[in-house]
Amino acid sequence: MNKKGFISISVVYTLFILFLMLLLSVLTGYVTNRILLKTAKGDTTEILINSEDNRQLNVVCRNQRLSTCFMEHYNLDKSLIYHDNDPIDSESALEASDKAYRYVGANPFNYVCFGSDAEVCPAENLYRIIGIYNNQVKLIKNQGLGAKQWNNTAMNYWRDSSLYEYLNNAFLNSFNDFWQQKIVKTTWNIGGVTYNIGLSSNALTAYNQEISNLVTVNAKIGLMYLSDYYYAATPEYWTYKGLDNGGADYRLSKAANWLAGNNEFILANNQDNLTQAYRTFTAGFVGVETVTTSLDVRPTFYLYPQVKLIDGLGTVSDPLRVA
């Protein structure tokens, strides 16, 4: 064999391989630069679609009705759980019966900027989605309003409480008409929960007692339910108790419950003591407190189904923007 010919062929093959590697590098650079350009423009669809990033739900649903689209594509976000009581699911027997979609886990991408159009969302306008109930998105304020009494007299009936009046007047009126019109006046279950059910039972039992009590009020603003708090933990904790001296209680779920970590009132009164309401502790468990005590409160409300998602990835620095 001609050695020069052999060398020439080898050189050609080597150059061809180098050419392919260079071409691949150029294409990779092109795609990377295109993605970076889209990111700079705020168009991240190409990055997130068909990825494992839970933020892709917030991209797919741009310019669509927030509640409808999230319900349709909830499977794109592993932290959004549909309570469908499907017997195939391992947690089916522990799910609520309301066919709701609830965010669970340590830090889901469920931040929303509500009440402000500022380029950087002010901290006071940051909210988070608890879930979607009856086609309505339920929001809770990310940071509390500070220490407030449930009631300025020692009675725990929510409709007559000073906190109810404050939230549905002064707080509600802190929004202009444009934002107030996005909040639904809805029915809140305010009958309360017995002490044993609230603290010594699990999420489903607490939920069942909340909805079985026929005492309700129609209002725009409330607080999160006891069941909201319990179901915000990942499913393995749904059998745990609010407070159990044996140790198997919601303290163990704190790192897996994005609603945990605050000393705050919950929208649930103690049926066994007319001077007490339920609260959470920073350690993660649930207890009761005299209603004249001052604790942090986080207003909670539902959005009309017509509200659309405009932009945002649902992170604290890039919250969802709605209109």
Q: Exposed, middle or buried: residue 21 (CB in 10 Å: 0-12, 13-18, 19+)?
A: exposed
Strands annotated E in the chain: 80-82, 101-103, 111-113, 126-133, 136-141, 147-149, 186-189, 216-219, 264-269, 276-280, 286-290, 294-296, 300-302, 309-311, 320-322
Question: What is the 8-class DSSP label of residue 186?
Answer: E
Residue type for position 203: A
What was the pLDDT predicted at 247?
Answer: 72
Low-confidence ranges of the chain (pLDDT < 70): 1-52, 87-90, 245
Is the Cα torsion angle 278, 279, 284, 287 positive or negative in sign?
negative
What was the pLDDT predicted at 159?
Answer: 97
- Domain residue extents for the chain: 3-41, 56-139+304-322, 146-297
* Cα angle for residues 179, 304, 129 (degrees, 5° grid): 85
Region label for 61, one of left (φ > 0), alpha (ψ between -120 and 50) or beta (otherwise): alpha
Distance of CA 280 to the CA centre of its chain: 17
| Cα end-to-end span (Å), the chain | 76
Beta carbons within 8 Å of 193's beta carbon, 6+ residues apart: 206, 209, 210, 226, 268, 269, 270, 271, 278
Q: Which of helix, strand or coil describes residue 5?
A: helix
What was the pLDDT predicted at 39?
Answer: 38
169-175: long-range pairs with CB below 8 Å, 24+: 171/145, 171/221, 171/299, 172/220, 172/221, 174/115, 175/115
What was the pLDDT predicted at 21?
Answer: 60
Question: Checking DSSP bridges between strand 300-302 and strand 216-219, what pairing results, if any?
Answer: unpaired
What was the pLDDT predicted at 93?
Answer: 85
Q: Whole-angstrom Cα distance, residue 310 to residue 318?
A: 12
Q: What predicted TM-score, i.e. pTM, was given to this entire model?
A: 0.84
What was the pLDDT predicted at 54?
Answer: 85
Q: Exposed, middle or buried: residue 315 (CB in 10 Å: 0-12, 13-18, 19+)?
A: middle
A 10 A CB-CB count for 142 gives 19
